[in-house]
Structure 1
Amino acid sequence: MFKRITIILLLSLIVLPLSAQSVDEESLSGLQWRNIGPAIMGGRVTDVEGVVGKPSHIYVATASGGLWKTENRGTTWRCIFEKENTVSIGDIAIDPKNPEVIWVGSGESNVRNSGSIGDGVYKSIDGGKTWQHMGLSETEHISRIVIHPHNSDIVYVGALGHAYGPNNERGVFRSKDAGKTWEKVLYIDKKHGVADLDIDPENPNVLYAAMWHFERKPWTHTSGSTEGGIFRTTDGGNNWNKITAGLPKLMGRAGVKVAPSDPKRVYVIAETQKGVLFRSDNRGESFTTMCKEEKIVGRGFYYADLRVDPQNSNRVYALASNLYYSVDGGKNFAVMSRRTHVDYHALWINPQDPSNLWQGQDGGVAVSYDRGKKWTYINNMPLCQVYQIGVDNNAPFYNIHFGLQDNGCWTGPSRTYRPYGILNADWQMVSFGDGFFIFNHPKKPHLFISEAQGGFAVINDTRSKEESSITPYAKVIWGGPVSEGKYRFHWNSPLIPSHHNDDTIYFAGNVVFRSEDFGKNWQIISPDLTTNDLRKQQTAGGPVWQENTAAEYHCAIISLSESPLDANLLWAGTDDGNLHVSKDQGKNWTNVIENIPKLPNNSPVSHIELSRTDKNVVYAAFDRHMLDDFHAYIYKSSDGGKTWQDISGNIPTKSYVWVVREDPKNPQILYAGTEMGLYVTYNNGKHWFKLHLKNLPTVAVHDIIIHPRDNDMILGTHGRGIWIYDDMTALQNLSKLENKDVELFPIRTVYSHSKKMMRYGIGDGVYVAPNPPYGALIDYYVSKNMSKTKLKLEIYNDKGKLIRSLNKLNNKHGIHRMVWNLQGKKYKARFKGPQSLSIEVLPGNYRVRLVYGDKNIEKTVSVKVDPNIPYDTKQHKKNYEYATSVLEMRESLYKDLQKLDIIEMQVKQLKTRIAQLSNGKVSTKILGSYVSKVKKLKGKMERYSKDASPSRLFFSKAPKLADELSFFGSANKQFAMTAAQIAYLTDLKNRHAKARKEIQAFIEQALSEWNAKLLEEYNVSNWIFLKIEKKTQKKDHKKNKEKKDHKSK
């Protein structure tokens, strides 16, 4: 018996640590993120399609930001494909017979180094409201979907397949039952897939497919083969033949399009060494070379696409670095659309009005209504593809800095003084190119250091707009292999500020550089930390065209971290699988990669996170997706890298990891930014779950920062911009709620600041990102067994006086957020409604009490003034007292006027009743005179009428006392009241006292003389009375009236 008890006790001890870290995931379901865009710059767009006959209905597909829809030509948009397994889209197709049916081919086919992956085909039958997965999960990259023009059950899918390795699920697939089943009808081998696919609208049995050999590795890519090329079927896909007449044998990526107005004409644009544009006028039997200008293809693997005008077979558009057009059947091309962006991937031509064009490129979307002469840039979709983020400590609102795919580096506010939010105009571009790391000097915030691809670092002064290169190695080698440079910089080279010295920064190529003067001078503090494999430093691309844009520059450092606890401790990870540590500021380095168990060789180190609580604790994330391995790899060492533990846990495959962060307040909590979203663990990696709350879409999270002052979590997503969770306190304490019925979380300091309109109307087409709610964010938790308990929040000042109650609290199970807008006592308004009056409290400490049942919990919140305001405590207090006195005068006058309202109502009711009961035979003239007297007195005190138009009264009558009191009463934090204002306030006080006396005298007269007259004239006693509150008065007055009516009758 003793042994049995001992075993039970031991087992309970074993599970205690895990149970102590168990969290109530369900309690987070009511919380949400704040997406602040921006939308001034877009992201890569992969397809644009319009609804024929409804040109106001446009769909925009993106590389990594989902599918967007407008029904008003782009004035407003909504994302309709964001919660599926992937948001990377290669192509969309709208059923020509039913525009409510939409097909999505997931996984973009512009397979650059930053591309995402898909998981097959999706279909909606209700215009994008709901989606069903239709299979082909392992295709990963789909280039085109084609629907039979006469039979919607027949659908063709052109799949590129895996971009990083061989696989079978690629080629052309056909469904004859609307996607229920698929058959592969064109397949070459495990390395060839479909670059493009088109159908003959006149004879849908004829289809053309561009077959393409493409494979990417971290250090190179292969584009083209002699086995690929253009294939044709004339029997609906049962049999295919390769077209060779007039086409080069060696071909890379290609686009093929049938001219809708003349299906005998077929165009091919291709990455080849013998011409780039080819045309057939005999349905593909043979082709003729029309153009050899390589500019209309540009970078072969990235573009090689075209469109044909639906009404003019000689008008052709080529999508490349620029958007080109030809009006002579492809012989000559000219540039259009010079003022949008570069790198074109999508073009929709309205078949009923070919002057209406929609384009998609690396910077978003634009529309033209004059056949491309002029374009309107559509910048109201938050599509930017963030790589890295940084923050500053600007007060009261910190700024966020970030680098974007093909859209440079930017900075902007986390919130604004405007009540409606953050506009595109609030963002400032800092530097050009593909943007990555960016930060500013803590003491000179106008000085920014940022970088573009291949180690091109610059310093910018945002005041003077001057920019200068600070790259340690000034020689430019773009265009050539990385081996031609003295140092090797990656596409996204680590560039970080020191935690310990404001002027010290680090930069990494294949060696680590340090500058102690903010980038003016550099010193090398490491040897080559990579494998220096010469085979992986050669020219990229081929066999058709070579390409060296730094995207494939290899054998370089891609992650670098300085310990926040020890300036001597540095860690560096490389793209070829090395992980080094230095404990003496770079004098000596040790490679600890061999200490990590079960990690495959040559695994790129995507991120290194050093603990803020223990300098021996380090986390390392590895990303092998470009080696065709999509597993999550996260390891932890607690002894400085000697031993390691796999803490990837249950993070699913295809959620490969970009970043891992330790929570700065609770080291048991880790956050992982993955290709498929954000994950969190509360027990150091034993169990992970998605932290998407209500609204974070499926999107790649490339960077995570928890703001050191405000405790906000900021996400940099690669496709949907910046997302913020304001104040992480509740989430950081989630593991402490297991035995709590109700909890009130600590409340962070709140700044009182101006909320000022800075422009008039902005319309509906402007993107506005929300500010957080103004005031104190009060988070509380309710357990399941307390979900029927009534809750309320009470705010007390430092003297213990109750100044505000918040009664409408959500009592359902979970964590909820209530906002105290810093307003103090509520003063009654003139009429019923939400116009209760109050002013902001003075700075200081306030107690927040959460009352539940007969229990309560208290926390303190500190209210401070915006540090940008030249603040005078005494002056603010004096202004506050002035404003309070005005509110008190206003409320007392309003109460008096409400008494007059009641008297007027009572007299009107009697007048109506007597007229009804006597059939108009009894005169009510005296009652009419009483009503007139009341109105006259009210008119003397106020110009506003409950039923009249406020704007008409505002401009047609001079203000009266009540109106003047409503104009006056702001507790300004900066400016003292002027002598004129003080004199005016004195006048108001005198007039207010006289007015109250006049009203009181009038009321006394009505209660005595009028009631006596009513008794004499109508035998009605005490009809007019004012003894109870207005809410209950009507009910009691009705009972009293019924008794009097009977007597009168």
Structure 2
Amino acid sequence: MRSVLTLLIALLTLPVTAQTAEEISKALSLRAIGPAVMGGRIADIAVHPDKPRTWYIAVGSGNVWKTTNAGVTFTPIFDDKPSYSIGDVAVDPSNPDVVWVGTGENVSGRHVAWGDGVYRSRNGGKTWEHMGLEASEHIGKILIDPRNSNRIFVAAEGPLWSAGGDRGLYRSDDGGATWDAVLTIDENTGVTDVEFHPENPDVLYAATYERRRHVWSLLAGGPNSGIHKSTDGGTTWRRITAGLPTADIGKIGLAVTPADPDRVFATLEGESSTRGFHISYDQGESFERRSSYTSGGTGPHYYQELEANPKDPDTVYQMDVWLHVTRDGGHTFEELETGWGKHSDNHAMWIDPHDANHMLVGTDGGLYETFDEGQTFRHFPNLPISQFYKVAVNNRAPFYDVLGGAQDLGTLMGPSRTLNREGVRNRDWYVPLGADGQGVAFDPENDEIAYMATQQGNWYRHNKITEEVIDIQPQAAPGEPAERWNWDAPISISPHSNRVYVASQRLWASDDQGHSWTALSGDLTRDQNRYELEMMGRVWSVDALYHNGAMSKYSTITGMSESPVAAGVIYVGTDDGLIQVTGDGGENWSEAAPLPGVDPQAFINDVETSAHAADGVFALADVHKKGDFTPYLFYSGDRGRSWRSIRGDLGDGVIAWMIRQDQEQENLLFLAGENGLYFSANFGENWHRVPGAPTIAFRDVVIQDRDDDVVGATFGRGFYVLDDYAPLRAAGSVPEGGVLPVRDAHWYIPSVPMQAPGKPTLGDDDFTTPNPDHGALITYYLPEAPQTMRQERHAAEKEIRQQAGDVPFPGWDRIGEEMSEASPRVLMAIRDASGRTVRWLDLPNRAGVHRTSWDMRLPAPDPVNLTVPDFVTPWSGSAQGPLVAPGRYAAQLVVLSRDGARALGEPAEFDLRPVYPGDHATTARLHEQARDIVRRIDMTNAELGQLGDRIRHMRAAAELAPAATPALFAQVDALQGALFNLRQELSGDRVRGSYSEFTPPSIRGRAGRAAGSLFDTTQPPTMTQREGLHLAATQFADFAGRYQAFVQTVQAAEEALEAAGAPWTPGRGGN
């Protein structure tokens, strides 16, 4: 039986399979860099009824957040769910630990995402259950009966881009286990709002909403939109017509107030003669039109929410571009906001039931709070929920900038990382251009010049030095048709020069930074009339409730790319399904072959030329605005004459937004997808989601070639950076284990802007995101974790038990060997160019691919102390050694086990590159000398501490020595005074210091003061520091003789104790 156990142990220790790109990716992680300075679109707000500082924030495109401290900090609580688009959040009034979330935003914007039904949490958002209505896609409202937590109503708007789905008002009487459709109209009409009578929840009012959106148009109303009422708890319904328009109606907002429970307020979108604010005094039986006011901007489909004042029945608030209020029951409306202290585009409001002047307001620019009914507002700049369309990076040294166009927040620019320890802060971001930010690009030859746009192709050039922008939009010549710019019009920079391309329905080029433009094509689109295209199965009147002012222009160019391999080979894609190509810089154009199996009117999200093949091009098509959520990814190797799918195993629902190809390995691709950032290491056969980000749409992705970083723009959670993805190229390169390629590191010391690392004085609401680990990032592969003998035996015994076998006794010798065996170690050796080991890094004993970092320092000289203090002040920091000199270094993986030391793989070399100039080699040498002086002094100081402990034990032992004499007592007691004097000489005057008096510099004080500051600078020592170190070294050399003599005196006293028969004391061995 023992031979069976031995064989199993051998089999279980065979190496694991070599690393794959997927395994490598698990060691990497996306790093969020914000920003949070301007927030993002808030869809709904719910407040705990008994804990007014606990809020739930539903973000239209950015998941759900919770605060328990009135917004000092927020925590995302819905990040791992399939949907990131949120329409509504509701707290059960009878059991506030129960929270309901409706996914799928309740607006009909061009950029809106979809959801997968409703979710419930029973523990305040810690965990969630999916509760059905998966095909609703957009939830307008959730109501919970205050008398019965099991009765829930869900207003489901239904799919925006197609018919059918879960559409209408749904009721559950069993806590969401089952749902009944209690109010349905037809396959195109859902329910957008629902309200209880404030005193009788059996009376309900519901607003139906007929709408459809496609790429070309938004039809935002129809004959089936209206107001309905139920008096039996939602079982039966009837449409209210008295006082309401007979013409087509668009989106309706409803509100009721406990100040007058029988009143019902409604704001209706419709024709100019019938739309506006309506009021009912008889529980919704009849209405009267009070004014023509309705929300504006891009249209009521984007707003329309009403909130009634709980104390004043004549005061109602209307969500709109600017927050509006009526104080006379709807006869007149005025803007509530009095200044520019708050963002526009309001979507949600919570009114404090105990203080109607206290409100929370959700806008496109985040969350606000007011205590004076909107006279002043407080913003919460700690929600990183900005929605970015596009991203660009430059080559600024040492760290590149990130530039992006954001939904309703303008164009934002900030650093990818910083030279300080705080990371990327809100105050590091800059907003050079307002409105809706869109396409962005940097001038490849000048990091200070950037190109950016507001919606629909309003192009500008920005100069970072002067902080000025200038309009550079190309203009049609006299007699030419108007330019049709997409809402998110594209921009591209030629890889062969600094030529700038932008596109309307034709392609434009500028060779002088936008001073002048040349049209390189005619109309490259289908040039379709949107009013001749079907909506909801038919063509509607041109005077129907279209919201085309809220649309992008149609038949526009949406993407373009010039080949980096073949100059003049340019592709464009359009929103009406075409891909066009020129091989001569625009002189001649030809239409590429249709994408196989794709709707001819597909929106071409991206055309991206191959980084390796002159005739290669990628195409990403999007048909989700026709209700088709299939990801369409294609590649052509013959300039678009034929296409093959590279979707691979990418699942449905992952809309493919943008694709990029690695510059070195043609099989390595990165994809910005609807629910995350993906990569493929085999040209699209398999796709893997990059870890580190929540479920969120990545709308754009770029590669920063110099640093081997990937930067993604999300539509609701800001920017993410994948630092140093180069290890993905090295899959399979170290099958026996070792270090993957290491990127050169920037040599500098992070600054401390605010007295101490972190945020010592700014409060917990100050938003920052971390830099990557300082120093060299090192990715390594450990094929198998070294096991102890006991671990190997337990694994073998487990196999035997699983086969129902008898587990043999291992033998006492084996057990003894197991008990005496030291645990294995996994280490990283860092060596300089001469081969000298300058640092050992202790690594976790876990098989697989991992990433660690080296801070570019020698080990700390401090004595080893295994005691962990209960509290460390923020400014204390951790023990550290001096920086090594810049230059060439190498990292190698080493495993220590009972078989000895074993190096895995070859050393991976990398450079430490100084950020600032200087004679760093000389400085590093002096710093290392200072470290050695401090190390020897601190070692002696620690030994004096140990001697003090020995002496205390010796004094106690003398009393227990049978043959002790008065002379022995005197001999031992004399050691105390001698030790005190030595400590005084080494560490300073403790007598004066105990009375808070200044004391002359000590040996240890001189060395510590000089070396301590040197370890936090790349500068050479000052003359004072050099003199202090020299004096400390000289004095310590003289002190060392007296110290050794004292050690001998202690040893003599210990021998006398031994002779007197004293019991054991620390440091004194027995014979």
TM-score (normalizing by structure 2): 0.87
Deviation string 1:419-454 (CA, Å, 9 cap, x unpaired) is 121100101112111111212223332222101111
Instruction: State the distance in 1 between where 2:995 and 2:477 align.
Output: 72
User: Do structure 1's residue 267 and structure 2's residue 251 form an aligned pair?
Assistant: no
Displacement of 1:466 in angstroms is 2.2
CA distance 1:920–1:329, change in 2 (3 Å): farther
Instruction: State the distance in 2 between where 1:984 and 1:668 align.
Output: 55
SS for the counterpart of 2:1038 is helix
Displacement of 1:820 in angstroms is 0.8
CA distance 1:954–1:641, change in 2 (3 Å): farther
User: Do structure 1's residue 994 and structure 2's residue 1035 form an aligned pair?
Assistant: yes
* Aligned length, in residue pairs: 988
Instruction: State the distance in 2 between where 1:514 and 1:910 align.
Output: 89
1:118 match: 115
SS for the counterpart of 2:639 is coil
User: Do structure 1's residue 224 and structure 2's residue 221 form an aligned pair?
Assistant: yes
2:158 match: 161
User: Residue 880 of structure 1 is aligned with which of 924, 927, 930?
Assistant: 924
1:58 match: 55
Structure 1: which 5+ runs fail to align? 1-19, 477-482, 1024-1035, 1045-1049
CA distance 1:1015–1:720, change in 2 (3 Å): closer
Question: Which amino acid counterpart does residue 249 of structure 2 have in structure 1?
Answer: M
SS for the counterpart of 1:207 is strand
Displacement of 1:998 in angstroms is 2.6
1:1029 match: none
Instruction: State the distance in 1 between where 2:862 and 2:696 align.
Output: 48
User: In the TM superposition, what are the counterparts of 1:23-42 in structure 2 within 5 Å?
Assistant: 23=20, 25=22, 28-42=25-39
What's the Cα RMSD here?
3.0
Q: Report which stretch shifted further, 896-905 or 430-439.
A: 896-905
User: Do structure 1's residue 492 and structure 2's residue 523 form an aligned pair?
Assistant: no
User: Residue 446 of structure 2 is aligned with which of 432, 438, 444?
Assistant: 444
2:942 match: 898
2:898 match: none
User: Residue 519 of structure 2 is aligned with which of 513, 516, 524?
Assistant: 524
Displacement of 1:810 in angstroms is 2.4
User: Do structure 1's residue 701 and structure 2's residue 701 form an aligned pair?
Assistant: no
Deviation string 1:340-362 (CA, Å, 9 cap, x unpaired) is 11111111112233232111111
User: Do structure 1's residue 212 and structure 2's residue 209 form an aligned pair?
Assistant: yes
SS for the counterpart of 1:1007 is helix
CA distance 1:736–1:848, change in 2 (3 Å): closer
CA distance 1:438–1:1014, change in 2 (3 Å): closer
- The answer to whether the 8 Å contact 2:197/2:261 transfers is yes
1:865 match: 913
1:1004 match: 1045
- The answer to whether the 8 Å contact 2:222/2:545 transfers is no
SS for the counterpart of 1:356 is strand
- The answer to whether the 8 Å contact 1:490/1:551 transfers is no
SS for the counterpart of 1:55 is coil
- The answer to whether the 8 Å contact 1:741/1:785 transfers is no
- The answer to whether the 8 Å contact 1:223/1:253 transfers is yes
Q: Report which stretch shifted further, 519-528 or 599-608.
A: 599-608
1:912 match: 956
Instruction: State the distance in 1 between where 2:1004 and 2:476 align.
Output: 72
2:233 match: 236
CA distance 1:356–1:866, change in 2 (3 Å): farther
SS for the counterpart of 1:267 is strand
2:602 match: 603
Displacement of 1:736 in angstroms is 5.2
Instruction: State the distance in 1 between where 2:682 and 2:624 align.
Output: 26
Deviation string 1:307-349 (CA, Å, 9 cap, x unpaired) is 0122332221110001112233333322223421111111111
Deviation string 1:892-939 (CA, Å, 9 cap, x unpaired) is 112222232222211111123345789999895664442233123212
Q: Report which stretch shifted further, 573-582 or 788-797.
A: 788-797
CA distance 1:316–1:975, change in 2 (3 Å): same
Displacement of 1:767 in angstroms is 0.9
Question: Which amino acid counterpart does residue 678 of structure 2 have in structure 1?
Answer: Y
User: In the TM superposition, what are the counterparts of 1:977-988 in structure 2 within 5 Å?
Assistant: 977=1021, 981-982=1022-1023, 984-988=1025-1029
- The answer to whether the 8 Å contact 1:537/1:554 transfers is no
SS for the counterpart of 1:81 is coil
Q: Report which stretch shifted further, 782-791 or 332-341.
A: 782-791
User: In the TM superposition, what are the counterparts of 1:74-473 in structure 2 within 5 Å?
Assistant: 74-249=71-246, 250-272=248-270, 273=272, 274-294=274-294, 299-337=299-337, 338=339, 339-473=341-475
1:801 match: 836
Displacement of 1:965 in angstroms is 1.4
2:804 match: none
CA distance 1:540–1:682, change in 2 (3 Å): farther
Displacement of 1:299 in angstroms is 1.9
CA distance 1:785–1:989, change in 2 (3 Å): closer
SS for the counterpart of 1:938 is helix
Instruction: State the distance in 2 between where 1:857 and 1:197 align.
Output: 66
Displacement of 1:494 in angstroms is 0.8
1:555 match: 555
2:815 match: none
Instruction: State the distance in 1 between where 2:646 and 2:378 align.
Output: 49
User: Residue 931 of structure 1 is aligned with which of 949, 952, 976?
Assistant: 976
- The answer to whether the 8 Å contact 2:829/2:837 transfers is yes
CA distance 1:1039–1:939, change in 2 (3 Å): closer
User: Residue 710 of structure 2 is aligned with which of 703, 709, 713?
Assistant: 713
1:818 match: 852
Instruction: State the distance in 1 between where 2:963 and 2:543 align.
Output: 104
SS for the counterpart of 1:256 is strand
User: Residue 839 of structure 1 is aligned with which of 882, 885, 893?
Assistant: 882
1:662 match: 661
Instruction: State the distance in 2 between where 1:43 and 1:722 align.
Output: 13
User: Residue 752 of structure 1 is aligned with which of 737, 747, 750?
Assistant: 747
User: Do structure 1's residue 963 and structure 2's residue 1005 form an aligned pair?
Assistant: yes
Displacement of 1:880 in angstroms is 2.2
1:941 match: 986
1:16 match: none
Deviation string 1:810-830 (CA, Å, 9 cap, x unpaired) is 232321001011012542448
Instruction: State the distance in 2 between where 1:519 and 1:787 align.
Output: 64
SS for the counterpart of 2:77 is strand
CA distance 1:205–1:444, change in 2 (3 Å): same
Identity %: 30
Displacement of 1:758 in angstroms is 1.5
1:1028 match: none
Question: Which amino acid counterpart does residue 589 of structure 2 have in structure 1?
Answer: W
- The answer to whether the 8 Å contact 1:830/1:895 transfers is no
Question: Which amino acid counterpart does residue 1003 of structure 1 have in structure 2?
Answer: Q
1:1047 match: none
Instruction: State the distance in 2 between where 1:42 and 1:652 align.
Output: 31
CA distance 1:431–1:866, change in 2 (3 Å): farther
Displacement of 1:686 in angstroms is 2.3
- The answer to whether the 8 Å contact 1:568/1:583 transfers is yes
Deviation string 1:512-549 (CA, Å, 9 cap, x unpaired) is 00001010100000111001113459999985655444
Deviation string 1:736-782 (CA, Å, 9 cap, x unpaired) is 57xx2423201011110231112342221011111000011100122
CA distance 1:934–1:304, change in 2 (3 Å): same
Q: Report which stretch shifted further, 779-788 or 656-665.
A: 779-788
Question: Which amino acid counterpart does residue 633 of structure 1 have in structure 2?
Answer: Y
- The answer to whether the 8 Å contact 1:944/1:963 transfers is no
- The answer to whether the 8 Å contact 2:838/2:858 transfers is yes
Displacement of 1:643 in angstroms is 1.5
1:511 match: 506
